[in-house]
Amino acid sequence: MSEDTVFELSGHYRFQWEPAQSAYVLLYPEGMVKLGGSAGEILKRVDGASPVSAIVADLERAFPGVDLTRDVTEFLAHARDKGWLRVRSA
């Protein structure tokens, strides 16, 4: 993964806000992952167009004063390994 990598949600997953759980969730065949606050904020910005650097910059604008590069790249790698995300081919 580099700062230019563009991620998108894998085909079978849907990402949405669930008011009843006050959380973002990932839905897939017969299953659900309830996301923690920061995971939800990161995935909300994964749109199949923004590179990692843009996602980090946007998060740092929303949550000023912290360097988030490492947290974001670690989570994105985790989400890719879990199969939630895939790298968008150029």
Partner 1 sequence: MRATRGGCVSARPEPGPPLWLLTELTYRCPLHCVYCSNPVDYTRYKEELTTEEWLRVLREARELGATQLGFSGGEPLMRDDLETLAAEARRLGYYSNLITSGVGLNERRIAALKEAGLDHIQVSFQDSTREMNDFLSSTRTFELKRRVAKMVKAHGYPMVLNVVLHRLNIDHVGQILDMAAELEADYVELANTQYYGFAYANRELLLPSREQLERAEGVTNAFRRRMGERMKIFFVVPDYYANRPKACMNGWGSVFLCVTADGVALPCHEARMLPGLEFANVRSRDLRWIWRDSPAFNRYRGDEWMREPCRSCPEKGRDFGGCRCQAYLVTGAAENADPVCDKSPHHNLIVEVTARVREGTVNAETKPVLLYRDDETSRALAGKSKTPVA
Binding footprint of partner 1 on the chain (CB under 8 A): 11-12, 14, 16, 18-21, 25, 27-32, 83
Residue among 21 and 62 whose Cβ is closer to partner 1: 21
Shortest spacing between CB 67 and partner 1, in angstroms: 32
Minimum distance from residue 28 beta carbon to partner 1 (Å)? 7
Nearest-angstrom CA–CA distance, 34 and 27: 9
User: Considering beta carbons, is residue 36 or 83 the nearer one to partner 1?
Assistant: 83
Q: How many residues does the chain have?
A: 90
Q: Which two tokens stand for residue 43?
A: 């995935």
Q: Which is nearer to partner 1, 23 or 54 (CB)?
A: 23
Nearest to 13 by CA among 33, 34, 3, 27: 27
3-state secondary structure 52-68: HHHHHHHHHHHCCCCCC
| Shortest spacing between CB 87 and partner 1, in angstroms | 15
